Chains A and B, each alone.
Chain A
């Protein structure tokens, strides 16, 4: 079978995707009375303007192409508007954007991480515009899924347009599983059995690299969301909550993740392996499973075209809990408070995210919608359909949780970065790590007005 025909085999009828989407996106943000945009909006749609945009798709050429095509279509429809897009990696963006915005020299529009610790901090520092007037004007309020909008809503104001829905699940090399006669890891016992079997066969059971420090949040977070009720997680993953990381079920999940490392289920010397290298080992078939968010799907499709890869919900360790998943949204568009053309910026956002043309293009590229888009008439790769099923299962079950250690404050993130490395290496006990996270959380909460 040629590569092209294999690729076609991934395509499924749109109706399947549409059906799933309808489930995923049930319940959107309720529509309120439309309010007017800010008084000083600069040029309005139809007038001439120049927009600068920074996107965090710097390391994703495939998705850059999608945005580029949409942008060109927008400029063609609005000949008086010129939009310059700069692509940065998330790491570079996170390091440079906040201070650029604070200096007043930021871009008109940018794409930033959507949680209290990142976009929320910019909002608290009044560096981004509240989008509610535009949300009402363009109907975003009705279109956005409640769960997605909640990640960019701070103090009851919408500060970002969530760019993609994401959930962490379990990618596995279906070809290897078939060849080795391993059952699909759809239950926790099956997941552990698969890890042991892959290990016996000399493969790395779970590709994992934590040199970049953040991946530990995704791996440990998978254990956490499989053992701890979402209401408990929410109590310590939000600044307004009052919960603690020392909850017994949290400690138990930390212990379980550390056990995976101790048993050799994850890549050896993982603290010296980068995320990219770990992902490459999965591409190369050296590892059988990969615990990661739906955001890597476009990369996996592109790099494993000749391999059958499937994606399932990370199985619940505590079977009394309904299926839930770590995640949220993968990024959000925001408008700088210093933008000279916020009305044009909002118009551009409406086109590149909410138009039918944009929704279709993003979904085809593997980016899951954050709106009520039903995907009618869109053929999606099988792996994207799997993504949608996983998101749907969590939405219908216990819900989609948070990016572990990355949701509330940079202080907690910093504590997580070192704590996650030590926990998985067996150099710190779960209660020690939890105590350092609690200390950081307490400080963050005391700083939050």
Chain B
């Protein structure tokens, strides 16, 4: 009888265990989802909903003031194909992407220098050099606008002081220098971020590789080229992708410093989108340009990452 009871107890306990585990797993899942709900709601409200709205608006004509946009089908996209100003913006963006590589190069150079053990006060230098990366772009734009100011701007004053008056000009007023001047400002804010990322990467490189290379007679440049750069591949990829995305969607500096001028010399696609939607009140057309810009960023980033993966 006792055995029977025991057997009964044992036979009842065996199937209860997985049920308990399953119940516990369900509860964990439920609480996990519950915890994720606020983030999902926020993501849906502030990302998915605006994205879907933008996509929908791109198929309409709307001035942003009337209550009802009118359906336009693919008209906005067809118009975009022949829009020279959109291509001009895209070209300016690409110029900016290439220009941003200078900031990464500078970041890499500074990181390599500040890794040298013989430099005293490295932490202080790193902190000082990183400061521009912490500043709001609007503030940076206003400050650099003063630096570039024609006549008594800091840059022109400095050039005059060293006898280079002939180079003085209205840096943002001249069609041939305005874009480079804006890119230089952006690079000033960006090199610090690149430097910090590279510094992190440098710390992960085995010091013994440098010692071995030195024993084999490799000089500083050779060590940099054959050890440092390959060791920073992941950081380089990360920075190229991040700067590519940031550069293509850049807006603040152009808005603050030049309004896209002179003429359209510094107009990038994001500024063009803003002007279409909020200045000329072609919200639908501006939305179409924004959608195309997003697709360009997604496609280019995907190709870049795919090539990187394939290469490695």
B63 within 8 A of A: yes
B280 in contact with A411 (CB, 8 Å): yes
Residue among A99, A413, A417 making CB contact with B64, cutoff 8 Å = A99
A211 touches B173 (CB 8 A): yes
Residues of B within 8 A of A417 (CB): 259, 261
Residues 378-434 of A at the B interface (beta carbon under 8 Å) = 410-411, 413-414, 417-419, 421-422, 425, 427-428
Stretch touching chain A among B146-154, B195-203, B233-241, B298-306: B146-154
B residues near A126, Cβ cutoff 8 Å? 66
List A contacts of B259 (CB < 8 A): 211-213, 417
Given contacts A213-B259, A422-B263, A425-B262, contact A98 B150 (CB under 8 A): no
Interface segment, one of A33-41, A150-158, A269-277: A269-277
- Say which residue of A95, A99, A271, A428 sits within 8 Å of B170 (CB atoms): A271
A269 and B65 contact, CB distance less than 8 A: no
Interface residues of B in 260-312 (CB under 8 A from A): 260-264, 275, 278-282
Task: Answer yes or no: A127 CB below 8 A from chain B CBs.
Answer: yes
Could you say which of B148, B261, B281 contacts A421, with CB atoms under 8 Å apart? B261
Q: Is the CB of B63 within 8 A of A121?
A: yes
Determine if B65 and A272 form an interchain contact, defined as CB atoms under 8 angstroms apart: no
The reply to whether B263 and A272 contact each other, CB–CB distance below 8 Å, is no
A127 to B67, CA, bound (A): 10
Please give, as numbers and ranges, the residues of chain A lying within 8 Å of B67 by CB-CB distance.
102
Contact with A along B222-242 (1 / 0, CB 8 A): 000000000000000000000
The reply on A125 being an interface residue by CB < 8 A is yes
- In the complex, what residues of A have CB within 8 A of residue B282's CB? 411
Q: B175 an interface residue at 8 Å Cβ cutoff?
A: yes
**A203 contacts B by Cβ under 8 Å:** no
Instruction: Decide yes or no: A269 and B150 within 8 Å by CB, A418-B264, A425-B175 being known contacts.
Output: yes
Q: Does B174 contact A (CB under 8 A)?
A: yes
Within A118-149, the residues touching B (CB, 8 Å) are 121-122, 125-127
Judge if A239 is at the interface, Cβ distance under 8 Å: no
A101 within 8 A of B: yes
Q: For the complex formed, measure the closest distance between the CB of B260 and the CB atoms of chain A, giving whole angstroms.
A: 7
Q: Does B169 contact A (CB under 8 A)?
A: yes
* Residues of chain B contacted by A125 (CB below 8 angstroms): 63, 65-66
In the bound complex, CA of A16 to CA of B44 (Å): 67
Chain A residues near B264 (CB, 8 Å)? 418
* A268 and B65 form a contact (CB under 8 A): no
| Interface contact A421-B63, CB-CB below 8 Å | no
A332 to B278, CA, bound (A): 21
What CA separation (Å) do A213 and B275 show in the bound complex? Answer: 14
Q: Which residues of A contact B151 (CB under 8 A)?
A: 268-269
Closest to B172 in A: A272
User: What A residues does B244 contact at CB under 8 A?
Assistant: none
A418 to B89, CA, bound (A): 14
- For the complex formed, measure the closest distance between the CB of A170 and the CB atoms of chain B, giving whole angstroms: 24
Shortest Cβ distance from residue A203 to the other chain B in the assembled complex, whole angstroms: 14
A410 to B151, CA, bound (A): 33
Partner of A272, one of B150, B280, B281: B150
* A110 smallest CB distance to B (angstroms): 14
Q: Does B190 contact A (CB under 8 A)?
A: no
Chain B, 88-102, CB within 8 A of any chain A CB: none
Assess whether B280 is in contact with A101, with CB atoms less than 8 Å apart: no
Interface SS of chain A: helix
- The answer to whether B281 and A121 touch across the interface, beta carbons within 8 angstroms, is yes
Contacts of B262 in A (CB 8 A): 271, 418, 421-422, 425, 427
Q: A102-B65, A273-B150, A411-B280 are in contact. Are A213 and B173 (CB under 8 A)?
A: no
Q: Pick the contact of A273: B65, B66, B169, B173 (CB < 8 A).
A: B173
Indicate whether B171 reaches chain A with its CB closer than 8 angstroms: yes
> B64: which A residues are within 8 A, CB to CB?
98-99, 102
Complex Cα–Cα for A122 and B278 (A): 14
Q: Which of B170, B175, B280 contacts A410 (CB 8 A)?
A: B280
CA distance A353 to B281 in the complex (A): 31
A412 nearest CB neighbor, chain B only: B280
A95-B278, A427-B175 known; A268-B263 Cβ under 8 A: no
A212 vs B260: C-alpha distance when bound (angstroms): 11
Which of chain A's residues 300-316 have a Cβ closer than 8 Å to chain B?
A: none
Identity of the chain A residue whose Cβ is nearest the Cβ of B153 in the assembled complex? A272
In the complex, chain B residues whose CB is within 8 Å of the CB of A428: 263
Specify which chain B residues have a CB less than 8 angstroms from the CB of A410 in the assembled complex. 279-281
Bound-state Cα–Cα, A418 to B258, Å: 11
Q: How far is the CB of B72 from chain A (nearest CB, A)?
A: 12
**Which of chain A's residues have a CB closer than 8 A to the CB of B65?**
98-99, 101-102, 121-122, 125, 127
CA distance A425 to B176 in the complex (A): 12
Q: How far, in Å, is B210 (CB) from chain A's closest CB?
A: 48
Which of chain B's residues have a CB closer than 8 A to the CB of A425? Answer: 173-175, 262-263
A186 to B191, CA, bound (A): 56
Query: If the complex has contacts A98-B65, A410-B279, A428-B263, are A268 and B150 also in contact, measured as CB distance less than 8 A?
Result: yes
Contacting residues, chain B, for A121 (C-beta < 8 A): 63, 65, 281
A306 to B172, CA, bound (A): 34
Q: Are A269 and B174 in contact (CB under 8 A)?
A: yes
* Chain B residue contacts of A213, Cβ below 8 A: 259, 261
- Interface 0/1 of B5-16, CB less than 8 Å to A: 000000000000
In the complex, A250→B286 CA distance in Å?
31
| Assembled-state Cα–Cα distance A95/B274 (Å) | 11
A212 to B257, CA, bound (A): 10
Instruction: Output the residue of B64, B260, B281 with the most chain A CB within 10 A.
Output: B281
27 A/B residue pairs, CB under 8 Å, sorted by A: A101-B65, A102-B65, A102-B66, A211-B261, A213-B261, A268-B151, A268-B170, A269-B150, A269-B170, A271-B174, A271-B261, A272-B149, A272-B171, A272-B173, A273-B149, A273-B170, A414-B279, A417-B259, A418-B262, A418-B263, A421-B261, A422-B263, A425-B173, A425-B174, A425-B262, A425-B263, A428-B263
Return the 5 tightest CB-CB contacts between A and B, nearest first.
A269-B170, A272-B173, A269-B150, A272-B170, A271-B173
Known: A271-B174, A425-B262. 14 other contacts (CB 8 A): A98-B281, A102-B65, A121-B65, A125-B63, A268-B150, A268-B151, A268-B170, A272-B148, A272-B170, A272-B174, A410-B279, A411-B280, A414-B279, A421-B261
Binding site for B on A (CB under 8 A): 95, 98-99, 101-102, 121-122, 125-127, 211-213, 268-273, 410-411, 413-414, 417-419, 421-422, 425, 427-428
